[in-house]
Structure 1
């Protein structure tokens, strides 16, 4: 049975916008980009590395896919994450892209229904708008929330509006040396 996992880097107040770089996502006048950099450590790197050994393809929304192209596509820096990102099959969900040829091993999907029709395990990093849509459709099976010990007060949140009632159970948690909590939750399918 297919499984969809989402990894979301977020603040204590739920902001998921602009984790990596100051210019990553300035929509809505967001000025706090790059907030996650100060919280990296070996524990976090090891936890994120665990995701690389899971089977399946990657799934992206258009904005994240385009951003990741600039960072990862064609990278030959010897970083195992770069190698993984470029070798993995990548699906990008977009109604506006013409094709997915800009990044090797990428396949264009047009809708959440196209995602639902896939028959392989999928992992998502970021792509909050896509995650919201997949959650609303009941397609997210597991969340890994990488919760950083700060609040920003502004910015896009994981769930900016209503989300359907869905129960999850905590399956693992790790606290890093910088106070980041990596919490994994699995959807409860029946009681």
Structure 2
């Protein structure tokens, strides 16, 4: 049985919007895109890369899937993430018509996302890793389907932007810290599991 592992970049005030680039997600007039880039270092790369090659699959919301496909599918620079992202099976949740999925090894989730993910947890060997995909993460968390949160918490307060958990987005849940790594730039990579 697989576990759902949520991997997110966050600010201290919980913002997850557009960590990678200025034009990544401009919703709501967000002007701080790319905020995580100055904090990248070898410790983060090694820590996050350590689990990338493990068995399992990936889960994406449609918007995040399209952003990742637009960037990673065409990379030819030898980045090890490219090979892993292209090789792993990618399941995509979408509220609208699924339409064709252009990235190799991609399948739309059939039906309602939480029911489909609950079924996948029983079928997939290895982790089901969710990158970004805030709406999907919030629905999975509310349904009690998230087994691990791997959060890269950046020493930065933005005061605006989409947060991982907005007010009322998930029922009360206690978590227990199971591991931490601190990077040379002050990012704390914290691993949490539901308590109890």
Shared fold (TM-score, shorter chain, > 0.5): yes
Within the alignment, does 1:127 sit opposite 2:129 as a pair? no
Distance (whole Å) between structure 1 residues aligned to residue 176 and residue 26 of structure 2: 33
Q: How far 1:129 moved relative to its partner?
A: 0.9
Distance (whole Å) between structure 2 residues aligned to residue 100 and residue 187 of structure 1: 35
- CA 1:100–1:59: 2 relative to 1, 3 Å: farther
Q: Name the structure 2 match of 1:17.
A: 17
Q: How does 1:54-73 map to 2 (within 5 A)?
A: 54-73=54-73
Q: Name the structure 2 match of 1:85.
A: 85
Q: Is the 8 A contact 1:18 1:24 kept in 2?
A: yes
- Equivalent residue for 2:167, pick from 153, 161, 182: 161
Distance (whole Å) between structure 1 residues aligned to residue 154 and residue 100 of structure 2: 32
Cα distance per residue 1:67-116 (max 9 Å; x no partner): 00111114222111100000000001002143343110001014221111
Cα distance per residue 1:121-143 (max 9 Å; x no partner): 30011111110000000000000
Which segment is superposed worse, 66-75 or 27-36?
A: 66-75
Q: Is the 8 A contact 2:2 2:56 kept in 1?
A: no
Q: Is the 8 A contact 2:53 2:84 kept in 1?
A: no
Distance (whole Å) between structure 2 residues aligned to residue 46 and residue 2 of structure 1: 23
Q: Name the structure 2 match of 1:49.
A: 49
Q: Which runs of 5+ in 1 are unaligned?
A: none
Which segment is superposed worse, 106-115 or 153-162?
A: 106-115
Cα distance per residue 1:140-191 (max 9 Å; x no partner): 0000110000100000001112221222211110110000000001122x3x
Q: Give TM-score scaled by structure 2 length.
A: 0.93
Q: Name the structure 2 match of 1:113.
A: 115
Distance (whole Å) between structure 2 residues aligned to residue 168 and residue 34 of structure 1: 28
Q: Which runs of 5+ in 2 are unaligned?
A: none
Q: Aligned Cα RMSD in Å?
A: 1.2
Q: Is the 8 A contact 2:177 2:190 kept in 1?
A: yes
Secondary structure of residue in 1 paired with 2:91: strand
Distance (whole Å) between structure 1 residues aligned to residue 57 and residue 132 of structure 2: 15
